[in-house]
Structure 1
């Protein structure tokens, strides 16, 4: 038996004897369970510092499935852990035994009752989805209030488990303030409903559950009666006292509210299978007021004044998060911040804009009188407001990999005090950090006194883990001295449960243990948390990663804002000494932004399948087990589990910009495939599509013949021979000289030297790089781009004697890619700083990002710094005063399909900004991957997913606009997907849209080829 009284099989390693009997029992009960090494790797982690491999993962489809799984776990002595979005930062969503993932199937909203102001939900419903559906159903009159920063992937079950709060908790409190009833299944199989006044069987005809409810209710009443003084004195002292069990709700003065007492129990008492939650009225008008201060302590000293104005939210961030956001996503990613080094976001609301604005004016005047405010301003613009909130909401991820090259970790990220004590607490806490030589990145719910502080622990070394352990104990003592709570929102979990004796008396801890045993006498639910906890430094994910060199083609050393890698500095940041590939894949900390269903582009394959294995996080976790040599993934570069995890990655690169920690799964996939396929037969598509630039040199010479063949049924045979899908039409090929003809007609100087330049030392203008895709498939775009540039007064030269190697990069053929990129660097490094404008955005992205990572030379970096996509250059021209020719008939509306690589490398709003600058009045933004993504959508095994991805954004945008609406597709892959969806609506490049030449010259060649 273990210390928790659980039978030994629960501790058996994955794949060991303990799993065999469990899997057999689950199969006999009719429960599909996944115990594959890849799946176990995905579910060994949440968003905390911890790693605990389970024995199996189950995706229940009904409450009956949950009952059956619990019966098997009870009979076999196997632990069970409930999981929603897996975003727990305290280790609450991982554990040995069986993991129940509710987010995949038990995620329905069963009814929205506006009359009673309630909603009935499954535990797997995502919080943001719930709010969105409630607002739509009630005409924006009501919403669901709890809104943690993880709301677009965290679930109702998880919020109930942790008693989550969120940005607007100043107004709306915790999740426990919004619960009316909770349906649960106990470890012994009873189906119960916890209410505001007691407990009863969910089904009155279920006699076993009725008896269990009566006995449990009696036990809870006896527990409360025996501990009246302790519950009243020690619990419920501050707004954000989340640590421990919420047993004050069992007191007579609180009506014996069993539902609220159950909230925050972190899955240790029962399994939540449904809930009825309260709704709140949605304010008619709201305004963000942004305040700048010298530091977070000065900001905290103004909290009491701010709270006098009844704000809905008072959130705070420090400069480390802002600097990292700008470093990672560009200066334009943070707009509207007033002067300062720490900022408060104050949300004011009311019945009308005028009254809210008046309140904002009064607030700013009062704060000016206090003398601490450096600058404050209202933010009425929705776009600016959204940009600012994104900085706050991405705080956990952004602060994990800082612009300085350092890294920070949770563990003490969730302390809370009374708001009036926050400033003094933060001042003392900073002194404690200094004593340990640590740095803390501070953000959080200032108005509720709850701080999220990520700290620069070194969790990879024994000495660093000792610091983590002793610092955490001292931090616990400090927050208790200030009358606070170890946890204000995230729960205690593995991170803080062992520290609870520093906060609570032995009598209260004994009551906690008794409470848990009343619910779960066998102790099989989420062991290791709250009572009889594991030590806080046990099961740390970074402990036990072997020192090994992973030789890579990509230079993956972490960069910092100074422009170099952290390993090159005199004072390397924590983590800099780690192998670069290990450090790169460990950049995923599990925040789960890749599991959202809206906003941004990441992760298109997860949005299609809703399977953790197809999320960026799931893939990263499997890679993390690979580099640690875990039993779940042991074969290193030859791991079949990793290959399977990467199979549906579209290499869209969206994660490199959308992921708050900057995970670049496309790069990791390319690197892995390069090693995996060495000495192995590659898929045919790696030759047919991966070698596409070579084939285009041949097809260009006989394009009419090739196109004639492809116009017959032989095109299906050609597709099969190339390992491609027969469901998608192959593109038509351009003749070898068509692009030259187009450029000559545009009056552009043609290359006469092998490096593609017409002048040894050009000093002005631009270099137009005509890429392989444009030459081979869309030569008219080259002519259009040249006419736009020359029409803007740019001295334009052309280069075409190079290849970015994109197709070899995406298929993991990096030796060839490096040769091509080395040549490209030599060709394009002409001794000038003039922009290199690339027609195809994916090729521009490869030259900007992949070139310096695969060819880490000064020459490569010089060239990469000059590369611009065509849309980015148009934006610069417009900023300089250029406007399109009056002869260009700009459309009233366009559907914009931004290429994923342009989105991730040049900025999410690059094309949209260019369209606004040139005067296109209406843009329907199909934000999302088109689904083709280079070779992915042409491969037969990926075609179905490719079309599912298209249905996320591109297809709806097309169906919702008229047949004559222009579809802007700068990327050739996007052109092919548009053609697949509607062959009568060809995609148009921005250069074609702005081309001052005749319409027939501008589009006829491509239109005829694409519709042939």
Structure 2
């Protein structure tokens, strides 16, 4: 490669060499942020495929003097994974688990492997005998490379320590492209035949030995004093008594000295028995004072949360999400484990006795069931997101931010430190939300900083300096897990002497003499208030059709506040539990994650000179293209980002006075077309079965790879509802457009199930939720229909309004009061139930279904019902009526209203189906398949034998007393 003169030339040069590199404005917006307070636009983003390609990229950047920032999942909370220059995202391609060796208890991995995937693969390969230990709360999206960069720890660090404790060797690329391997005792060329690398390794080893000799006494006095001392470089590992451990000296260097391209890691045993003890306290400091008692029992984890996070969890996900917590205002999670279940239980009893004797614990609860433990751990693991926007009892919100996210002290000093820290918060008139790794003395504290104003930033800077001095007074460290990054590097002189700071600078220069690797981190940092993402955002009047409110309850600037809810924790990049985010799971591209979309929206708000130009953003339109509007993010995202709402709002403005995609007219206006097709259904069905089908589909912007449903006639609906008695009933049953137009048999079954419980159903077929107009961003049309619906249903009663289609029920519950801001709309919304909710309510009042339900069911969890009515709504209904075995497909079906019928989205739709629904259907092809949603119904029929009587049914159909039951098992 030849030297290049500017950034554009290096992008062209690398692209010509086969590197996947992108400098488009949308891509740069996605990678301008991580999970910190900061925003730094890069020059370009590269997606290397292997170590050799990383080396070639680094050589080109080195010659051009272009900075390089290595990045995995992008969840760094201190601004470690952003920067000017070229960002290397290793998570897309460099994510192989090269080998697992149970005999040597080691694993060899590439840097982009997600931690949870690694642990799962190791457990599977070793018969659940071994695992990879580090388990930060972000483990289902954080990568090995990022964890090495920050020396991440996790919930079980009391037992297993930091990532560095599990590193045996690192394959790295230096700032000039040289490839070396750092081990626990040496530094050598990765390729022994590479003479230049061999020479460089020898030279660097000698210089590191000289550095250690020059600063030996300072290393011994100031470094490695407490287990969680992550701040700065970990140079104590170079001391003679530590064996010249270059690998561990590079761990925690945050990509400033070398880029990790491979790692050999140590594995640990999986305990055969585990028990979670939840201990409730009146105060977080009281909880901290019991930590030393708990540590005497060698727990695997001692984690803590406070009442503010729990209260927010209740508001965001319902009281059931925290029902297992004993009464209190602060809680410790104590994980006890071992090889003997009886011994573990006895240990728990002894610990409970000691805690009772201390007199601080209010209550204790033992949790043995693995699924229940997992549910409880989610409260702790979502702490970073939940604490960012706290929901208060009066309905308002408080926004908090990282910055002092990660301080740590010795566990025996934790209570005193927290007490003093509270006084410091009061002095600066700030509020802090506290949670974290109590057993390791490491606290995650999010604080109500005002980063938008100059005065607020001044207070933030002064507070952080005072906080640094306070933690040092308590013998602690600025960072105990997440690294220093842009958030704390400037404060390192408060913790370390000038001698150690000089050693850090010398260490950095030995590895990176030209300063191109993640500049401004640890060494030569910028101010902690420079590059703050919230600073100086234009205060434009973003008028919205949805009635949104900001954290202060005001509508002014509410849209800007809403899209800024995303703080980058990246749970939407998870391939694990929950529904969010189906499009990212299908493509693996940051642009298709909820976070990626939110970041592009945030840049729109920041950069738009006028509102009109902002709403016209092509970058945002492109980012939102693959959003399925499943609404899962509104529940699964810890910060409550509701991308479906933002998409509808944006499209409403973007397509104003523009020609829309054809599907917006064909499917977006579906209720209007159905009013016609029900009159001529035989004619329409005949045309769609003829050669005219292809023409009709193309005119409607629809795919020809998906079978269309048969249109129902008015006569079919009349026949289904004919036996129903007219007049006012005690339950209002709303038959939606999808049910009327395509599944009239569901309407009849729903009436019979409601009346089987002794109710009288008042059937309404004359109202519309406006869903198809909402999902395509035609909000004025949607609002007109919802105004009429609110007026029609607001009858002065509190009768439940039961809606057969879950997505329509969700629209009436959530979208109605946000689009129609009237008391009538809010009254109607409060009365709305999904059909599954109604079944549970009937069962609670003593109803026993006349029909015999199947003993086993495969249920496609409906995304909108999941997000608006609760994740377990359908499961509770099935359990209530006696279905014993439920196989749950938890994930979007892939059709999601108009999305899966659109020609350009069909392939992604089917890829989404492979995440949950398709595997569940293949697992038991003869099972009864429950699909309450019409979109789910169509996808299930696409994936199964549509002629089987159990191919795809509504809950009302499997409980219908008039249905023959031979096929139900």
TM-score interval w.r.t. the shorter chain?
over 0.9
1:930 aligns with 2:871: no
Residue number in structure 1 paired with 2:722: 744
1:654 aligns with 2:616: no
How do 1:544-559 and structure 2 match up within 5 A?
544-558=536-550
Secondary structure of the residue that 1:556 maps to in structure 2? Answer: coil
1:543 aligns with 2:535: yes
TM-score (norm 1): 0.93
Residue number in structure 1 paired with 2:852: 889
Q: 1:46 touches 1:86 (CA, 8 Å); kept in 2?
A: yes
Displacement of 1:254 in angstroms is 0.3
1:247 aligns with 2:235: yes
Q: 1:314 touches 1:447 (CA, 8 Å); kept in 2?
A: yes
1:581 aligns with 2:559: yes
The equivalent position to 1:730 in structure 2, one of 702, 708, 711, is 708
Residue number in structure 2 paired with 1:612: 590
Residue number in structure 2 paired with 1:162: 150
Q: 2:630 touches 2:864 (CA, 8 Å); kept in 1?
A: yes
Residue number in structure 2 paired with 1:988: 953
The equivalent position to 1:140 in structure 2, one of 128, 143, 146, is 128
Residue number in structure 1 paired with 2:872: 909
Residue number in structure 1 paired with 2:578: 600
Residue number in structure 2 paired with 1:702: 680
Instruction: Supply the distance in 1 between the matched residues of 2:556 and 2:960 (Cα, whole angstroms).
Output: 50
Displacement of 1:679 in angstroms is 1.2
The equivalent position to 2:517 in structure 1, one of 514, 520, 525, is 525
Secondary structure of the residue that 1:99 maps to in structure 2? Answer: strand
Residue number in structure 1 paired with 2:217: 229
Q: 2:540 touches 2:611 (CA, 8 Å); kept in 1?
A: no
Q: 1:995 touches 1:1002 (CA, 8 Å); kept in 2?
A: no
Secondary structure of the residue that 2:304 maps to in structure 1? Answer: strand
Residue number in structure 2 paired with 1:970: 932
Displacement of 1:18 in angstroms is 4.2
Q: 1:655 touches 1:662 (CA, 8 Å); kept in 2?
A: yes
Secondary structure of the residue that 2:14 maps to in structure 1? Answer: helix
The equivalent position to 1:476 in structure 2, one of 468, 471, 477, is 468
Residue number in structure 2 paired with 1:486: 478
Instruction: Supply the distance in 2 between the matched residues of 1:691 and 1:453 (Cα, whole angstroms).
Output: 49
1:80 aligns with 2:68: yes
Instruction: Supply the distance in 1 between the matched residues of 2:746 and 2:472 (Cα, whole angstroms).
Output: 67
Q: 1:622 touches 1:633 (CA, 8 Å); kept in 2?
A: no
Instruction: Supply the distance in 1 between the matched residues of 2:884 and 2:556 (Cα, whole angstroms).
Output: 50
How do 1:79-118 and structure 2 match up within 5 A?
79-118=67-106
Secondary structure of the residue that 1:336 maps to in structure 2? Answer: coil
The size of the alignment, in residue pairs, is 959
Displacement of 1:744 in angstroms is 2.2
Q: 2:836 touches 2:877 (CA, 8 Å); kept in 1?
A: yes
Instruction: Supply the distance in 1 between the matched residues of 2:51 and 2:371 (Cα, whole angstroms).
Output: 42
Any idea what the Cα deviations from partners look like across 1:684-741, whole Å, max 9, x if unmatched?
1000000000000100001111112222232222111111001011110110132232
Secondary structure of the residue that 1:135 maps to in structure 2? Answer: helix
Secondary structure of the residue that 2:154 maps to in structure 1? Answer: coil
After superposition, the Cα gap between the structure-2 partners of 1:954 and 1:788, relative to the gap in structure 1 and judged at 3 Å, is: same
Displacement of 1:853 in angstroms is 0.4
1:816 aligns with 2:781: yes
Instruction: Supply the distance in 2 between the matched residues of 1:336 and 1:364 (Cα, whole angstroms).
Output: 18
Displacement of 1:547 in angstroms is 0.6
Q: 2:388 touches 2:639 (CA, 8 Å); kept in 1?
A: yes
Any idea what the Cα deviations from partners look like across 1:883-920, whole Å, max 9, x if unmatched?
211xx232221111011111110111100111011100
How do 1:438-517 and structure 2 match up within 5 A?
438-517=430-509
Q: 1:715 touches 1:730 (CA, 8 Å); kept in 2?
A: no
The equivalent position to 1:979 in structure 2, one of 923, 941, 950, is 941
Displacement of 1:383 in angstroms is 3.0
Instruction: Supply the distance in 1 between the matched residues of 2:32 and 2:322 (Cα, whole angstroms).
Output: 35
Secondary structure of the residue that 1:727 maps to in structure 2? Answer: coil
Displacement of 1:353 in angstroms is 1.6
After superposition, the Cα gap between the structure-2 partners of 1:590 and 1:632, relative to the gap in structure 1 and judged at 3 Å, is: farther
After superposition, the Cα gap between the structure-2 partners of 1:33 and 1:840, relative to the gap in structure 1 and judged at 3 Å, is: same
Instruction: Supply the distance in 1 between the matched residues of 2:695 and 2:942 (Cα, whole angstroms).
Output: 19
Instruction: Supply the distance in 1 between the matched residues of 2:754 and 2:555 (Cα, whole angstroms).
Output: 46
1:360 aligns with 2:365: no
Q: 1:335 touches 1:384 (CA, 8 Å); kept in 2?
A: no
After superposition, the Cα gap between the structure-2 partners of 1:635 and 1:212, relative to the gap in structure 1 and judged at 3 Å, is: farther
Instruction: Supply the distance in 2 between the matched residues of 1:727 and 1:528 (Cα, whole angstroms).
Output: 52
Q: 1:782 touches 1:839 (CA, 8 Å); kept in 2?
A: yes
Any idea what the Cα deviations from partners look like across 1:790-840, whole Å, max 9, x if unmatched?
001112111121100000000001110000000010011011111100000
Displacement of 1:380 in angstroms is 1.6
Residue number in structure 2 paired with 1:691: 669
Instruction: Supply the distance in 2 between the matched residues of 1:109 and 1:1002 (Cα, whole angstroms).
Output: 45
The equivalent position to 1:799 in structure 2, one of 764, 782, 785, is 764
How do 1:618-637 and structure 2 match up within 5 A?
618-629=596-607, 635-637=613-615
Secondary structure of the residue that 1:959 maps to in structure 2? Answer: helix
Q: 2:288 touches 2:414 (CA, 8 Å); kept in 1?
A: yes
After superposition, the Cα gap between the structure-2 partners of 1:531 and 1:41, relative to the gap in structure 1 and judged at 3 Å, is: same
Any idea what the Cα deviations from partners look like across 1:847-895, whole Å, max 9, x if unmatched?
000000000111100000000100011112222222211xx23222111
Instruction: Supply the distance in 2 between the matched residues of 1:635 and 1:189 (Cα, whole angstroms).
Output: 43
Residue number in structure 2 paired with 1:779: 744
1:60 aligns with 2:42: no
Instruction: Supply the distance in 1 between the matched residues of 2:75 and 2:845 (Cα, whole angstroms).
Output: 45
Unaligned runs of 5+ in 2: none
Displacement of 1:372 in angstroms is 0.5
The equivalent position to 1:899 in structure 2, one of 862, 879, 891, is 862
The equivalent position to 1:862 in structure 2, one of 796, 803, 827, is 827
Residue number in structure 2 paired with 1:673: 651
Any idea what the Cα deviations from partners look like across 1:936-979, whole Å, max 9, x if unmatched?
000000000000000111000011103x2111000000111011
The equivalent position to 1:423 in structure 2, one of 398, 401, 415, is 415
After superposition, the Cα gap between the structure-2 partners of 1:1002 and 1:851, relative to the gap in structure 1 and judged at 3 Å, is: farther
Secondary structure of the residue that 1:475 maps to in structure 2? Answer: helix
Displacement of 1:322 in angstroms is 0.1
Instruction: Supply the distance in 2 between the matched residues of 1:151 and 1:748 (Cα, whole angstroms).
Output: 56
Residue number in structure 2 paired with 1:342: 330
Q: 1:633 touches 1:639 (CA, 8 Å); kept in 2?
A: no
Instruction: Supply the distance in 1 between the matched residues of 2:12 and 2:633 (Cα, whole angstroms).
Output: 38
1:31 aligns with 2:31: no
Any idea what the Cα deviations from partners look like across 1:333-366, whole Å, max 9, x if unmatched?
1121112100000000011221111111110000
Any idea what the Cα deviations from partners look like across 1:616-661, whole Å, max 9, x if unmatched?
0000000000001169999410111100000000000010000000
Instruction: Supply the distance in 2 between the matched residues of 1:971 and 1:825 (Cα, whole angstroms).
Output: 23
Q: 1:181 touches 1:276 (CA, 8 Å); kept in 2?
A: yes
1:878 aligns with 2:843: yes
Secondary structure of the residue that 1:272 maps to in structure 2? Answer: strand
Secondary structure of the residue that 1:987 maps to in structure 2? Answer: coil
CA RMSD, aligned part only?
Answer: 1.6
Displacement of 1:577 in angstroms is 7.9
Any idea what the Cα deviations from partners look like across 1:233-281, whole Å, max 9, x if unmatched?
1000001000000000000000000000000000000010000000000
Secondary structure of the residue that 1:491 maps to in structure 2? Answer: coil
Displacement of 1:544 in angstroms is 1.9
Secondary structure of the residue that 2:696 maps to in structure 1? Answer: helix
Residue number in structure 2 paired with 1:310: 298
Tell which deviates more after alignment, 700-709 or 947-956: 700-709
After superposition, the Cα gap between the structure-2 partners of 1:578 and 1:291, relative to the gap in structure 1 and judged at 3 Å, is: farther
Q: 1:37 touches 1:633 (CA, 8 Å); kept in 2?
A: no
Q: 2:771 touches 2:782 (CA, 8 Å); kept in 1?
A: yes
